[in-house]
Amino acid sequence: MSANKISDPAQFGRVAVVMGGSSAEREVSLDSGRNVLEALLARGVDAHAIDGIPALLDALRAGHFARVFNILHGQHGGGEDGVLQGALESLNVPYTGSGVLGSALSMDKTRSKRVWQSLGLPTPKFVALPRGADVHAAARQVGFPLIVKPACEGSSVGVTRVFAEKDLDEAVKLAAQYPGDLLMETLIEGDELTVAILGRQVLPSIHIVPKGAFYDYNAKYVAEDTQYICPGLEGVAGEELRALSLAAFDALGCSGWGRVDVMRDHSGRNWLLEVNTAPGMTSHSLVPKAAKAAGIDYQELCWRVLETSLREGA
């Protein structure tokens, strides 16, 4: 386990913890942000909450902050799609997590999958659905059961598992409530696993066992009966999963920290679903659970994430 790069909180300078924003994941981000802010303050960091990108950029241009802890989730004002990262680069302000390319690629699930496909990394069969596409023809291509979801949202918003053609139109209608294109992919039945990455350290995997049919928004943030088994896989299978997750993370140009979501089918094959470049940090969230299993408490986790704003050579 690597020692901290920084020992004195004053070395971080004044830190903006940017949260909330205007994406579909605003409430989750506010919850994450409150927890992060509390943890950093407890460790002596001069940290302050800022709600959304416009307020953050105003404060940065006025010279109020030295660096940014980005805990915004999602796109379109959510700070996880490369737009905020580009603005911060142009202002020469250091920030946590992935850069412009890694953030933008990861937010677009369709393009993430194309990159993985090109490298021979396993991801479920899929069809991109631009607005107005023939969804029934796409379903025949993918085959049932399948999943319909917005291509650029997180937290399982707008996601439907579809087992029969009669339910397809309703699933598309739900996903289409969110901006951007849609994505249809084969539903992999099996175990849902996630792997967190902190710097270059791959944390123990988590096997998510929701009480309901799958790990939806309710199971993620509301229900108290979702089981989290950590490590989710051990031995050779666990090492293979962690190596695949790091390869998927690197393939999209990600850096700093993040979380890779994977399905493991009944034959033991892993399938990459997506990468989250600013994962949740709520009481239900997965990265804190994985960190805890690796002996890293919540305050230390937040400190180490903040250290990812120190780019190599910075």
Number of H helices, E strands in the chain: 11, 13
Give the pair of three-digit tokens for residue 87: 């603005």
* The one catalytic residue among 261, 264, 307, 309: 261
* The one catalytic residue among 26, 242, 259, 264: 259
Rounded Cα gap, residues 92 and 109, in angstroms: 28
Kind plus residue range of the DSSP H or E element containing 18: strand 15-19
Has 274 been annotated as catalytic? yes
Look at residues 193, 187, 214 and name the one whose alpha carbon lies nearest to residue 260: 193
* The one catalytic residue among 20, 25, 215, 256: 25
Has 106 been annotated as catalytic? no
Has 221 been annotated as catalytic? yes
* The one catalytic residue among 29, 103, 106, 155: 155
Has 259 been annotated as catalytic? yes
Has 25 been annotated as catalytic? yes
* The one catalytic residue among 81, 185, 191, 274: 274
Confirm if 43 and 302 have CB atoms less than 8 A apart: yes
Has 35 been annotated as catalytic? no
Has 192 been annotated as catalytic? no
* The one catalytic residue among 95, 178, 215, 221: 221
What phi and psi, each to the nearest 5 degrees, are found at residue 120?
75, 20
* The one catalytic residue among 276, 285, 304, 309: 276
Rounded Cα gap, residues 250 and 192, in angstroms: 21
Q: At what angle do helices 235-251 and 109-118 cross, to 10 degrees?
A: 110
Give the pair of three-digit tokens for residue 232: 């989710």
Has 276 been annotated as catalytic? yes
* The one catalytic residue among 178, 280, 304, 307: 280
Catalytic residue positions, numbered: 25, 155, 221, 259, 261, 274, 276, 280
